[in-house]
């Protein structure tokens, strides 16, 4: 990719449900400086693999109402995105004064060669559709 923003083709973006096999990728991303400055796992930055597994396996198994996905571009995992209905988190919903039928989406780009090139807005737009 060039230093300029690449025109990312939304048709080349896919979403794959997070699975146990992808936890090493997620662990690596959560320990990169550009992600760890914003993301924590249970209050800790730069989590070890056990903490990542403990946090995300209940979601993978469907035991928590948070849907987690890897974002792939040309089948290459490059980002993470998760969503949930705020109705499933009444304490947080009430504390924040969130209106009915609201959803939460959290995301980050894991691969550094996709940073600052306009990729985020493309995959977020596709995810929301």
Please check whether residue 38 lies inside any domain of the structure: yes
Residue numbers of the domain that contains 74: 27-128
Residue 19 lies in a domain: no
Q: Is residue 95 part of a domain?
A: yes
How many domains does the structure of the chain reveal? 1
**Domain of 124: which CATH number?**
3.40.630.30
Specify if 6 maps to a domain. no
Q: What is the pLDDT of residue 7?
A: 84
Considering the chain, what is the average pLDDT of its residues? Answer: 93
Residue where the block lists tokens 């996905």: 69
Higher pLDDT: 100 or 22? It is 22
Using a pLDDT cut of 70, give the percent of the chain over it. Answer: 95
pLDDT value, residue 32: 97
Residue 98, C-beta contacts closer than 8 angstroms, at least 6 positions apart: 86, 92
Q: Is the pTM of this model over 0.75?
A: yes
Residue 4: the pLDDT is 45
Query: How far apart are the C-alpha atoms of 121 and 119, rounded to whole Å?
Result: 6
Lowest model confidence (mean pLDDT) among 14-23, 53-62, 89-98, 107-116:
89-98
Q: What is the DSSP string of 11-35?
A: GGEEEEE--GGGHHHHHHHHTSHHH
Calpha distance 73→113 (Å, rounded)? 12
């Amino acid at each position: 990719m060039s230093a300029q923003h690449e025109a990312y083709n939304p048709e080349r973006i896919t979403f794959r449900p997070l699975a146990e096999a992808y936890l090493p990728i997620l662990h690596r991303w959560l320990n990169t400086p550009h992600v760890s400055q914003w993301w924590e796992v249970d209050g800790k930055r730069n989590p070890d693999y056990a903490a990542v597994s403990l946090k995300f396996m209940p979601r993978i198994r469907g035991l928590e109402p948070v849907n987690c996905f890897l974002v792939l571009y040309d089948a290459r995992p490059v980002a993470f995105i998760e969503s949930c209905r705020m109705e499933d988190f009444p304490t947080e919903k009430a504390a924040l004064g969130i209106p009915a039928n609201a959803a939460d989406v959290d995301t980050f780009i894991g691969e550094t060669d996709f940073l600052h090139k306009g990729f985020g807005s493309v995959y977020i737009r596709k995810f929301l559709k």
